[in-house]
Structure 1
Amino acid sequence: MNGLYALKPWYADRLSGLRRALAARQVSPDTLTAAGVVCAAGAAAALAWLPAPLAALPVAVLLAGRLAFANLDGALARDTGRTTRRGSLLNELGDRAADLLVIAGFLPLAPLWLVAAAAFAATLPSWVSLAGAAAGAPRRNGGPVGKTERCLLAVVAAASGWAVPVLAVVAAGSAVTAVARAVWVWRALGQPETAAAAVGAVAIERAAAAERGTATERDAATERTVASEKSVVRVAEPASPATRRRPSPAPSPRPSPLPPKPARGLPLDTGEVSGGITHTRPQTPADRGTQLRGTR
């Protein structure tokens, strides 16, 4: 029993033109998710502050926008190839925040305990669906009181002022929807093909994680190799002894083979030897006379 969720394909076809226009303008799917949360907050404000007949139109318009953005964000991500795990997480958080904001609009109109019970029950169907998907079952949507039915009930409360009966229906119907989804997921997980698909999905995820770890190790090893190569200091090898050049000794002055010539004019006479050095002096005419007398 899918309830109004069965109309989702028809509703998605009506939004195909808008989806193409958003894709052409490169609008981010995350922006559409945020816009859906803003619409839910506006509907809650209109429900809380406007009287019953006047609140119906703004609440209906804003909740229709909330459902449209919830449909467009995922479809736009698939059409443009921008599906990411972070985008899926943001989509789920946006849906839960939008549901809680709409129910928070009943705070001035109903007892606090009933608002809290309806808020808690409204999140149960999504918890069951996410738990089943994590276990390997297909994602289960729809039900007696799903997201679309809760938005319709909020419009009814805005138009009639029956806040307490509407909240009671939301709480009870959401609990029934959660139980119905849990039964469906339980049966799906018991089927052999579902179990095999779950095991295969786990194996694929583990293989992908191992591949990511291997790639990380390869990158780390490459970085270490590059770092080690950069840290090597290349030192020039010393030259071999055969190729070494010794400095050439400075040429020593050669001693003159001939004694110094005496000065012209006067013959030299040998003098006294002092300290190993012979002192000579020029001969005078008296010396020459003495020498001539001795030889006569």
Structure 2
Amino acid sequence: MNGLYALKPWYADRLSGVRGALARRGVSPDTLTAAGVVSAGGAAAALALLPAPLAALPVAVLLAARLACANLDGALARDAGRTTRRGALLNELGDRAADLAMLAGFLPLAPLWLVATAALAATLPSWVALAGAAAGAPRLNGGPLGKTERCLLVVVAAAASGLVTPVLLVVAVGSALTAVFRCARLWRELGA
């Protein structure tokens, strides 16, 4: 079960021209990681400050930029021969920071406990994947509610204010289920 993650090769192919232009200009992959975090922060600000449905378009555009940066940073590093362990660390930290920044946009819209629960749950799939990689398994991605699905849900919440609480509940439960699915898969793979 890979969810929207299954579209990553198709999406990466669509971004190949942008990636080539960035490589020719010598853009650092780390710059793209930072731009993804900034885009997520901008989406959070739009979500928090603009009423629904006016928030939907800027949130969608900024989260699309966040996802593009998340796709481009590693691919650019590999294409340009600029992969480093520091870059991998920055990529992981940037992805977690972008998720947390994006969900912080809900702070003025929902109870703190619900936003905090969704934010914590949103990080769980990545922690499981990183723990599996530390144990020698390949890095797992995908699942019922990954990064792309979380971004899509935030756009849905930006479009209709009555959906804030249901969206946060879906993010929390879906992220926890994704972590459980990844953990079960890793358990099987590491036990073989």
What TM-score do the two structures reach when normalised by structure 2? 0.99
Unaligned runs of 5+ in 2: none
RMSD: 0.4
Structure label with greater radius of gyration: 1
Residue identity matched to 1:151:
C
The count of corresponding residues between Structure 1 and Structure 2 is 191
Match of 1:54, SS state, is coil
* Equivalent residues in 2 for 1:8-23, closer than 5 Å: 8-23=8-23
Q: Establish whether residue 176 from structure 1 lines up as the match of residue 152 from structure 2.
A: no
Note the C-alpha offset of 1:92.
0.2
Show CA shifts across 1:40-95 (max 9, x none). Answer: 00000000000011000000000000000000000000001000000000000000
Match of 2:44, SS state, is helix
CA distance in 1, matches of 2:102, 2:6: 22
* Equivalent residues in 2 for 1:1-296, closer than 5 Å: 1-161=1-161, 162-191=163-192
Percentage of matched positions with identical amino acids: 82
Q: Which has the higher strand share?
A: 1
Note the C-alpha offset of 1:190.
1.4
Residue identity matched to 1:63:
L
What TM-score do the two structures reach when normalised by structure 1? 0.64
Larger RCO (CA within 8 A; separation ≥ 6): 2
Q: Which has the higher helix share?
A: 2
Unaligned runs of 5+ in 1: 192-296
Residue identity matched to 1:89:
L
> Runs of 4+ in structure 1 displaced over 2 angstroms?
none
Show CA shifts across 1:83-134 (max 9, x none). Answer: 0000000000000000001110000110010001001100000000000000
Residue identity matched to 2:155:
V
Show CA shifts across 1:221-243 (max 9, x none). Answer: xxxxxxxxxxxxxxxxxxxxxxx
